[in-house]
Amino acid sequence: MPNPLYDRLFGRHAGRTTPFLHLPDGTAVSYADFLSDAARMANVLVQRGLEPGDRIAAQVEKSPDALALYAACVQSGIIFLPLNTAYTTEELAYFVEDSGSQLVVCDSGKEAQLTDMAEALGASIMTLDANGTGTFAEAANTMPSTFATAPRETNDIAALLYTSGTTGRSKGAMLTQGNLLSNAETLVECWRFDQDDVLLHALPIFHTHGLFVATNVVLMAGGSMIFLPKFDVDDIIGQLPAATSMMGVPTFYTRLLDHPRLTPDLVAHMRLFTSGSAPLLSETHVRFEKATGHRILERYGMTETNMNTSNPYEGERRAGTVGFPLPGVELKITDPETGEELAQGQVGQIEVRGPNVFAGYWQMPEKTAAELRDNGFFITGDLGRIDEDGYVHIVGRNKDLIISGGYNIYPKEIELILDEQPGVIESAVIGVPHADFGESVVGLIVPKPGETPDLEAIKSAVGNRLARFKQPRKLLLLDDLPRNTMGKVQKNVLRDAYSKLFMDEPAARQDVEAGSK
Ligand code: MLC
Ligand code: AMP
């Protein structure tokens, strides 16, 4: 019985003894061993009573086993819900509850803090550590290394990836087998991946970029990956000679550019560097070419859509643009008010349609209807234009979103917490330019009349509830927030006012205790 995603990405490598993952300690995991591990894990899931269509939530450190858990879910038809390892218990509780996950798989170190939450939500908990130990790994070790692949169809959901919303409530994007397969096929072709490719993989595997773009493309092409636990610039420099290609967020490239050992010789053999998840400054593109001779290939995607556009493999990779719509993907620029398509060259909201576009938000039909039109076009919330040569330029966002080091941060989620703090009447959270992360989070707080909120206490209150990467790097007090005639906070005014906060030392030194008016 068919299971298209499993068959095309995993099953066809059965018995292959060539490496799939090259690990930092010099060992490798073959395709055959990886598939056996995944099958053992699939047996555990079924033995625990999980069935096709059920959900499991995984908050585990990056490792071969963590990736095998993804394969096990695909093989058993269980919906995979990967979660950022930085999320707090409070954040996790929302995802487990909203998705109705029956099983939470986490690192042993987190088990104690997550058990009560999981049990209260009716989910069981098992552990899987990066070194291959934990209760889930032990259970898998006792299982057969084969598994009868569950039949699935291309419209069946393979994964739920949560993406925050402008209301502060995260939404689970339902990605079907067909979404993931079509995008992997397209990218292999457009970026010329084949079985000789060795992709340097230093991205996290709980997001679209590291899990679907990088991993699925390598699986589809039958190549291999140098699988690093995280981005460490020295490790990347050390591993580049053994790689053919690398996918990264812009921060990877700015950090590499600061490294004295990044030379044209070091990367002369490389075939491809790609960038995405956040805007790559033209300046970074140009500096990277000067330093290495390589023009970074920038592409544009989203959790809900996988990849939409890409600069060409052959042909001009134009700095500051995200290239052309991928084959099979339609992209149009529309008027945000009317939804009408705008004339070529005009700036408007970007809408996309194609086999890559998700099936909707998990159990949120109104939110799905608000963003996914009946005619199949998805309203991305990004603002862009198409130039006279057909290159797509992203010029801004029609959604209140900060992207820091490739992670999305929705201000509303932080503002809701700041507003609850003693002495605070209201707040606004903005993203301001940051040399390393692209943008960084700043919280602007308006005190209640006659009160002086304790900014250190607020920092720690936020720290207990939100992942570190979402926490404001600076908190500043303001008398009031600028508003337009409709009473809406003018975040653009605030962004302009604080645009040099992380660039300009005296301002930066004011940090949390500063009262900036
Ligand atoms: C880590 N920190 C961050 C951060 N990452 N803060 C803000 N933004 C981030 N992205 C925090 C750490 O907790 C730490 O906190 C401090 O910043 C410094 O940590 P670091 O050691 O410098 O960070 P590092 O571990 O090196 O991580 C930086 C990074 C990482 C850029 C390598 O964030 C990363 O791998 N980002 C990739 C994200 C990604 O894959 N996005 C794809 C989304 S999919 P402190 O203060 O406690 O020390 C998508 C669709 C598409 O968008 O198109 O691809
Ligand atoms: P996410 O929801 O994490 O998948 O993030 C998707 C968002 O990242 C998009 O809507 C864009 O705003 C942004 N993004 C992704 N790739 C690029 C890029 N190459 N340039 C600019 N923004 C990008």
In a domain, 239, yes or no: no
Any atom of ligand 2 within 6 Å of the Cβ of 91: no
Identity (one letter) of the amino acid at 158?
Answer: A
The whole-number pLDDT of residue 504 equals 60
The parent domain of residue 65 ranges over 1-17+31-152
The alpha carbon of 469 and the centre of ligand 1 are apart by a number of angstroms equal to: 7
Rg of the chain over all Cα atoms, to the nearest angstrom: 23
Rounded to whole angstroms, the Cα distance separating 271 from 319 reads 18
Of all helices (H) and strands (E), which one includes residue 273? strand 272-275
**CATH number, domain with residue 102:** 3.40.50.980
Any atom of ligand 1 within 6 Å of the Cβ of 208: yes
Mutate which of 207, 251, 407 for ligand 1 pocket (most atoms within 8 A of beta carbon): 407
Sign of CA dihedral 379, 385, 390, 392: negative
* 379 token code pair: 């309203």
Any atom of ligand 2 within 6 Å of the Cβ of 274: no
**CATH number, domain with residue 474:** 3.30.300.30
Mutate which of 437, 473, 502 for ligand 1 pocket (most atoms within 8 A of beta carbon): 437
- Picking from 276, 150, 123, 142, the residue whose alpha carbon sits closest to that of residue 214 is 276
Which numbered ligand comes closest to the C-alpha of 398?
2
Identity (one letter) of the amino acid at 51?
Answer: E
Any atom of ligand 2 within 6 Å of the Cβ of 162: no
- Name the residue at shortest CA distance from atom 15 of ligand 2: 277
**pLDDT tens, position by position, for the chain (517 residues)?**
799 999 999 999 999 999 999 999 999 999 999 999 999 999 999 999 999 999 999 999 999 999 999 999 999 999 999 999 999 999 999 999 999 999 999 999 999 999 999 999 999 999 999 999 999 999 999 999 999 999 999 999 999 999 987 777 899 999 999 999 999 999 999 999 999 999 999 999 999 999 999 999 999 999 999 999 999 999 999 999 999 999 999 999 999 999 999 999 999 999 999 999 999 999 999 999 999 999 999 999 999 999 999 999 999 999 999 999 999 999 999 999 999 999 999 999 999 999 999 999 999 999 999 999 999 999 999 999 999 999 999 999 998 999 999 999 999 999 999 999 999 999 999 999 999 999 999 999 999 999 999 999 999 999 999 999 999 999 999 999 999 998 999 999 999 999 999 986 333 333 433 333 3
Kindly give the number of the ligand 2 atom that is closest to the alpha carbon of 380: 10
In a domain, 119, yes or no: yes
Domain boundary among 101, 136, 152: 152
Any atom of ligand 1 within 6 Å of the Cβ of 36: no
Which numbered ligand comes closest to the C-alpha of 166?
2
Domain boundary among 120, 152, 184: 152
Kindly give the number of the ligand 2 atom that is closest to the alpha carbon of 381: 10
Which numbered ligand comes closest to the C-alpha of 350?
2
- Name the residue at shortest CA distance from atom 38 of ligand 1: 406
Any atom of ligand 2 within 6 Å of the Cβ of 161: no
Sheet-wide strand order for 330-334: 330-334, 348-353, 378-386, 392-397
Q: How is residue 12 annotated by DSSP?
A: G
The alpha carbon of 336 and the centre of ligand 1 are apart by a number of angstroms equal to: 31
In a domain, 266, yes or no: no
Q: At 80, is the secondary structure helix, strand, or coil?
A: strand
> Phi/psi of residue 55, each to 5°?
-115, 145
Any atom of ligand 2 within 6 Å of the Cβ of 278: yes
Number of other CB atoms surrounding residue 479 within 10 Å: 8
In a domain, 458, yes or no: yes
- Name the residue at shortest CA distance from atom 26 of ligand 1: 231
Q: In the chain, what is the straight-line distance between the N-terminal and C-terminal CA atoms, in Å?
A: 66
Q: Which residues contact 395 (CB under 8 A, 6 or more apart)?
A: 347, 383, 384, 385
* 256 token code pair: 């590499």
CA dihedral (346, 350, 351, 355) in degrees, to 10, reads 120
Any atom of ligand 1 within 6 Å of the Cβ of 277: yes
Which numbered ligand comes closest to the C-alpha of 408?
2
Which numbered ligand comes closest to the C-alpha of 393?
2
In a domain, 340, yes or no: no
In a domain, 392, yes or no: no
Say what the pTM is.
Answer: 0.95
Any atom of ligand 2 within 6 Å of the Cβ of 208: yes
Domain boundary among 152, 174, 193: 152
In a domain, 248, yes or no: no
Total domains present in the chain: 2
The whole-number pLDDT of residue 512 equals 38
Mutate which of 408, 409, 413, 470 for ligand 2 pocket (most atoms within 8 A of beta carbon): 408
Any atom of ligand 2 within 6 Å of the Cβ of 248: no
The whole-number pLDDT of residue 514 equals 35
Any atom of ligand 2 within 6 Å of the Cβ of 239: no
* 264 token code pair: 């044209």
Sign of CA dihedral 325, 330, 335, 336: negative
The alpha carbon of 378 and the centre of ligand 2 are apart by a number of angstroms equal to: 14
DSSP 411-464: HHHHHHHHHTSTTEEEEEEEEEEETTTEEEEEEEEEEPTT----HHHHHHHHHH
The whole-number pLDDT of residue 1 equals 75
In a domain, 164, yes or no: no
- Look at strands 438-447 and 424-434 and give their pairing: antiparallel
Rounded to whole angstroms, the Cα distance separating 468 from 452 reads 25
Any atom of ligand 1 within 6 Å of the Cβ of 251: yes
The alpha carbon of 405 and the centre of ligand 1 are apart by a number of angstroms equal to: 5
